[in-house]
């Protein structure tokens, strides 16, 4: 039986430490091939042998680790808006500080805790402590039996220390703050999940399908490829497909992040989760559900957590060592001071979750918010690399230019008429996907040139095409394919004007030349200026065009260039810069440049909406063809890393100060327990700024 991949919902995870426990529990099951556990989307993706392991076995293992596998149809709360989240954050901050202030004033200062300790029987106090802390204590016991140390282990030791010296009130207050801390950590993690949940909530759940002359509303899971879907004004388009009739203005912000709508009519391709406005459409379904462009975007945003930044891996390793270090500090405190309350305070003030949350909360918030802007970033690893990038390599056609060249000159070399040359070339280029081939075909359509079906067709990457038309062997391509073109004086004049040339050969005889010009994207010069200001030291144009055409464009933009390149040449250039220690960004159209995009430290695909190859090959996909997104991506990456570093610096300083005060007896156990939740709030508030990218 073939291996199977399951997506399993996991509930109860509050921090990165939790995902590690779940992952270890599932990995130990015989028959499990691989496991990825995601905090942001509360799920595990498990590759397994179905003959050896099933879902009930996995559920049992997850429950044994202290978490749960809810039913897949269990209702999930709707995502909270950013404004509502900010209100809740403010309320949480005020509440926590109010509780701490109350403890300081009314408990410690007025001596109420001592009064309760003396008047209430210890046994009754012990029952209160055990009842209030039961869920936490059970998690600690389960973890201990599995030889695991979790953050609550230290706090539980602090509770035990307080009970040993007869301070049941202190122990009870510690339990209260443990439960408050759990809520704070869950709320903190929810801030990272929010952007992802808001994105997934945009997916339509039903579709209106034409069947036997009727319109029937079906769950999206029952819609099939080829079905005709009816979309009324104001409704979300539920599938990827081609418009077969109707006309509407479509808001594509869910896919491209672009606020300006586009016009859709017969023959237009539309995408799921976009909204039809001011009109209705009938759409022939081409993709449904997770296979749509929107579905693939959501899937990659959800799984972005798997691509961890190096700084996150360092933080995770530090968290694993932190708890034993704190235990050692507590033991040393007791040996030196012989004060069990100071020892308990050391155990209580330590906050390991803050280290684990410092990076992923910021990364996930940034990835989710960026996706809503039309920037698909596949994980924190690429944000960290992009923040350090110093070399930018750029493809020309379809990247710097609009990718819609127009034929400007048709030159006959042996007496053939313009119409004959155009007819032969367009027939040969009939099945080519290159933009220059489309330019030739478009001119043939405009001039009503007759086309023939090629008997043979071969595409030669980086050179052109070969075909057989009416028993003649035809070649259409650049100089690499047709070396005889080098001897023509007219080519230098055309190329000096920045035009790209295609040469037509019939039965090994050069019979014609096509000159085409592409339009530079209007926003490119300003965007490149911003990119330089953001730290990119070297920008280089990589193109398959000839030297003169490349030189003309490079001089206009003020960048270096290399011409006459094949796809494999671009890969070698990327490797060349990487070997010198540079962090390389490669921007291309995601089709011809897919290998170079994959080789680069950060591959960015331009205009990736609806393009499988672009989304798969690149590490960052720009869902619309807008160069302004390139400096945007750099700014987002750099801002994210500044916030991550600030989170790590804050939580390190906070814990060092807290441990020091506790060890010297300045911070009592009650306040130590209250204070341990504050780093999470600080990290949450700092990282939440990324949810609103400017």
CATH for 272: 2.70.150.10
Residues 417 and 548 in one domain: no
Side-chain half-sphere exposure of 16, counting CA atoms within 13 A: 27
Answer whether residue 25 is part of any domain.
yes
Catalytic residue among 227, 316, 395, 601: 395
Q: Are 280 and 231 in contact (CB under 8 A)?
A: yes
Known catalytic residue at 395? yes
Residues 173 and 266 in one domain: no
Residues 168 and 309 in one domain: yes
pLDDT of 616 above 90? no
Structure tokens at 100: 């701490």
Residue that terminates a domain, selected from 483, 517, 551: 517
Residues 262 and 121 in one domain: no
Q: What is the mean pLDDT of residues 1-6?
A: 73
pTM: 0.70
Residues 6+ apart with CB under 8 A from 434: none
pLDDT at 633: 93
Residues 256 and 180 in one domain: no
> Judging by beta carbons within 10 Å of its beta carbon (0-12, 13-18, 19+), is residue 582 exposed, middle or buried?
middle
Tell me the pLDDT of the chain averaged across its residues.
81
Please give the DSSP secondary-structure letter assigned to residue 623: S
> Judging by beta carbons within 10 Å of its beta carbon (0-12, 13-18, 19+), is residue 62 exposed, middle or buried?
buried
The total domain count for the chain is 5
Residues 6+ apart with CB under 8 A from 690: 362, 365, 366, 369, 639, 640, 643
pLDDT in tens, 80-106: 444 555 555 556 555 655 665 566 556
pLDDT at 505: 92
Answer whether residue 488 is part of any domain.
yes
Answer whether residue 410 is part of any domain.
yes
Answer whether residue 204 is part of any domain.
no
Residues 456 and 419 in one domain: yes
Structure tokens at 648: 């790590």
CA–CA separation, 551 and 524 (whole Å) = 17
Q: What is the mean pLDDT of residues 381-409?
A: 88
Answer whether residue 676 is part of any domain.
yes
Q: What is the mean pLDDT of residues 213-231?
A: 89
**Domain that residue 249 falls in:** 224-287
Answer whether residue 666 is part of any domain.
yes
CA pseudo-torsion sign 615, 620, 626, 627: negative
Closest CA to 648 of 691, 688, 686, 692: 686
Q: In which element (H, E) is residue 339 found?
A: none
Give start and end residues of each alpha helix (H) in 165-292.
168-200, 253-256
Q: How confident is the model at residue 229 (pLDDT cuts 50, 70, 90)?
A: very high
pLDDT of 654 above 60? yes
Q: How far is CA 585 from CA 160, 382, 394, 588, 591, in A?
A: 54, 10, 8, 10, 16
Answer whether residue 420 is part of any domain.
yes
């Amino acid at each position: 039986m073939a291996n199977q991949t399951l997506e399993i919902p996991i509930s109860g995870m509050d921090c990165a430490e939790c995902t590690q426990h779940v992952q270890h529990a599932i990995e130990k099951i015989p028959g499990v091939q691989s496991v990825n556990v995601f905090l942001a989307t509360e799920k595990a993706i498990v590759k397994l042998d179905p003959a050896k392991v099933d879902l009930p076995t996995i559920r049992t293992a997850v429950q044994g680790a202290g978490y749960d596998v809810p039913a897949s149809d269990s209702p999930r709360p709707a995502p909270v808006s950013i404004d509502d989240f900010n209100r809740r954050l403010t309320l949480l901050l005020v509440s926590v500080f109010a509780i701490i202030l109350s403890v300081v004033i009314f408990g410690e200062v007025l001596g109420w805790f001592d009064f309760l300790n003396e008047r209430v029987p210890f046994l009754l106090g012990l029952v209160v402590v055990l009842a209030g802390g039961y869920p936490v204590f059970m998690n600690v016991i389960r973890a201990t039996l599995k030889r695991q140390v979790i953050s609550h282990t230290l706090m539980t030791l602090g509770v035990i220390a307080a009970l040993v010296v007869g301070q049941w009130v202190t122990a009870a207050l510690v339990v209260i703050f443990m439960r408050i801390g759990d809520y704070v950590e869950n709320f903190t993690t929810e801030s990272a999940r929010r952007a992802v949940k808001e994105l997934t909530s945009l997916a339509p759940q039903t579709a209106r399908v034409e069947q036997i002359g009727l319109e029937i509303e079906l769950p999206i899971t029952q819609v099939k490829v080829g079905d005709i879907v009816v979309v009324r004004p104001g409704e979300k388009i539920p599938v990827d497909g081609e418009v077969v009739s109707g006309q509407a203005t479509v808001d594509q912000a869910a896919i491209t992040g672009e606020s300006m709508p586009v016009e859709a009519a017969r023959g237009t391709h539309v995408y799921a989760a976009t909204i039809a406005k001011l009109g209705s459409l009938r759409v022939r379904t081409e993709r449904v559900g997770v296979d749509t462009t929107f579905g693939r975007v959501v899937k990659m945003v959800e799984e972005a957590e798997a691509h961890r930044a190096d700084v996150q891996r360092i933080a995770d390793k530090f968290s694993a060592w932190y708890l034993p270090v704190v235990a050692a500090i507590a033991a040393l405190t007791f040996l030196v001071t012989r004060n069990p309350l100071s020892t308990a305070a050391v155990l209580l003030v330590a906050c390991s979750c803050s280290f684990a949350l410092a990076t992923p909360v910021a990364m996930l918030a940034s990835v989710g918010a960026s996706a809503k802007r039309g920037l698909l970033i596949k994980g924190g690893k690429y944000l960290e690399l992009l923040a350090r990038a110093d070399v930018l390599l750029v493809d020309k056609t379809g990247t710097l230019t609009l990718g819609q060249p127009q034929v400007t000159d048709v030159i006959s070399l042996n007496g053939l008429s313009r119409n004959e040359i155009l007819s032969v070339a367009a027939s040969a280029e009939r099945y080519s996907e290159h933009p220059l081939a489309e330019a030739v075909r478009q001119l043939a359509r405009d001039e009503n040139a007759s086309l023939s079906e090629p008997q043979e067709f071969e595409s030669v990457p980086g050179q052109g095409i070969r075909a057989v038309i009416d028993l003649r062997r035809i070649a259409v391509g650049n100089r690499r394919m047709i070396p005889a073109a080098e001897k023509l004086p007219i080519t230098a004049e055309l190329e000096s004007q920045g035009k790209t040339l295609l040469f037509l050969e019939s039965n090994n005889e050069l019979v014609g030349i096509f000159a085409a010009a592409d339009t530079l994207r209007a926003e490119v010069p300003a965007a490149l200026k911003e990119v330089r200001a953001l730290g990119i030291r070297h920008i280089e144009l990589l193109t398959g065009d000839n030297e003169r055409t490349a030189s003309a464009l490079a001089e206009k933009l003020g960048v270096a260039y290399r011409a006459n390149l094949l796809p494999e040449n671009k890969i070698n250039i990327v490797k060349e810069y990487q070997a010198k220690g540079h962090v390389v960004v490669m921007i291309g159209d995601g089709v011809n440049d897919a290998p170079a995009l994959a080789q680069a430290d950060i591959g960015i695909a331009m205009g990736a909406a609806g393009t499988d190859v672009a989304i798969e090959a690149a590490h960052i996909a720009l869902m619309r063809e807008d160069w302004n997104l390139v400096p945007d991506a750099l700014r987002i990456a750099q801002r994210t890393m500044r916030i991550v570093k600030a989170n790590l610096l804050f939580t390190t300083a906070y814990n060092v100060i807290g441990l020091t005060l506790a060890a010297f007896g300045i911070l009592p156990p009650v306040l130590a327990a209250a204070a341990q939740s504050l780093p999470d709030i600080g990290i949450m508030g700092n990282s939440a700024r990324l949810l609103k990218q400017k």
